[in-house]
Amino acid sequence: MKPDVIKPGAIKRKAIALTEDALIKESLLGADTRLPLLLEPAVAGLSLPQWATGKTDFIAQKLRSNGAILFRGFSVSTVDEFELFLQLLVGDLFHYSYRSTPRTQVSGRIYTSTEYPEHQTIPLHNEMSYSRSWPMVIGFFCLEASSEGGETPIADSRNVFKSIDPAIRDLFIEKSVMYVRNYSDALDLSWQDVFQTADRAEVETFCRKAGIEFEWKGEKDLRTRQVCQAVATHPQTGEKVWFNQAHLFHVSSLAAEIRDSLLASANGEPPRNAYYGDGSPIQDEALEEIRAAYAKEAVVFPWQKRDILVLDNMLTAHGRRPYRGARTIVVGMG
């Protein structure tokens, strides 16, 4: 089930309130969903970092209620301005360690979005929900929108939780999710990239603190195993959210030819896989149910240059659609 893209000119915005701040306009991008909330300047040339100074409580309240805010049309053009804006919202930004995807540090604590080939889809997920520690806020800054595709779908994690069959949901809650990762120079990310160090002792220290089981395999390779939550409760709103990456880590998420090639080259051990927390396999029908829930809740809209999308990482999942042409999206977390 593919979500419909909200096309330029076809958007029917739904005004929800007049903001107390006369400098901005507040509306909903789509009439049938509460996300994303669209904030636009009411005056030309309004600097986003300057306006946001002193407005962090207002932004935080909107983020908790809607889960996602799209800042569009503000005066912000550099990565430094974007980083400053995020720092105003969340303080110190997140150093992206124990990573699961390739990224490049752009400036400070700002990184490229996931560097997967442009023809690949990145399924909807909550950032670092494959771990026991994650950023609460993630921000995306569009420096260049692709000519075709490249949208960042989002989905309300509260609704995803409600959409999944209760029997499947309860089984995940009871058993949790186990993530097994095999790190090798020849497969996916190396452990040096994931842990951002070449020191084995540092990796071992990190794993022990994070509750990650680890096993060195020869001189170069590493395997880790960790059991994490399937569902989480938002600390401010008290709402339950679907919060794991079982559907993304599971080997079934790979195209058949890629999966077969990886399994053959890795002696039956793919770079990553997901199981129930007791090590038992996750049923295909459960994974299909989860993917269908994400597809049902997905909201897709085209990027515009200088858009900034800020998500409550627990309330809102995100992904990436395939694209053609140049596309530059940078990311910060806090």
SS3 for the chain, per residue? CCCCECCCCCCCCEECCCCCCCCEEEEECCCCCCCCEEEEECCCCCEHHHHHCCCHHHHHHHHHHHCEEEECCCECCCHHHHHHHHHHHHCCCCCCCCCCCCCCEEECCEEECCCCCCCCCEEEECCCCCCCCCCCEEEEEEEECCCEECCCCEEEHHHHHHHCCHHHHHHHHHHCEEEEEEEECCECCCHHHHHCCCCHHHHHHHHHHHCCEEEEECCCEEEEEEEECCEEECCCCCCEEECCCHHHHCHHHCCHHHHHHHHHHCCCCCCEEEEECCCCCCCHHHHHHHHHHHHHHCEECCCCCCCEEEEECCCEEEEECCEECCCEEEEEEC
Taking the CA atoms of residue 102, residue 198, residue 247 and residue 208 in that order, the dihedral angle to the nearest 10 degrees is -150
Domain for residue 8, yes or no? Answer: no
Residues 280 and 310 in one domain: no
Same domain flag for 142 and 244: no
Whole-number pLDDT of residue 258: 63
Q: Are residues 314 and 284 in the same domain?
A: no
Give pLDDT, residue 17. Answer: 45
Query: Do 305 and 288 reside in the same domain of the chain?
Result: no
Are 93 and 116 in a shared domain? yes
The answer on 175 and 135 residing in a single domain is no
In a domain, 241, yes or no: yes
Range of the domain at 246: 160-293
**Is 3 among the domain residues?**
no
Please indicate, yes or no, whether residues 99 and 136 belong to a single structural domain of this protein: yes
In a domain, 207, yes or no: yes
Taking CA 172 as the corner, what is the angle to CA 170 and CA 174, rounded to the nearest 5 degrees? 70
| 47 belongs to a structural domain | yes
Structurally, how many domains does the chain consist of? Answer: 2
Instruction: Give the pairing type, strands 68-71 and 37-41.
Output: parallel
Residues 256 and 280 grouped into a single domain: yes
Token readout for 34 is 């509460």
Instruction: Tell me if 239 is assigned to some domain.
Output: yes
Residue 68 belongs to domain with CATH number: 3.60.130.10
**Residue 265 confidence (pLDDT):** 60
Is residue 6 in a domain? no
Judge if 79 and 140 occupy the same domain: yes
Phi, psi of 138 (to 5 degrees): -135, 135
Residue 254 — φ and ψ, nearest 5°? Answer: -85, 150
Q: List the chain residues with pLDDT less than 50.
A: 1-4, 7-18
The residue with tokens 């990573």 is 99
Q: Is residue 152 part of a domain?
A: no
| Residue with token string 């059991």 | 227
* One domain for residues 223 and 245: yes
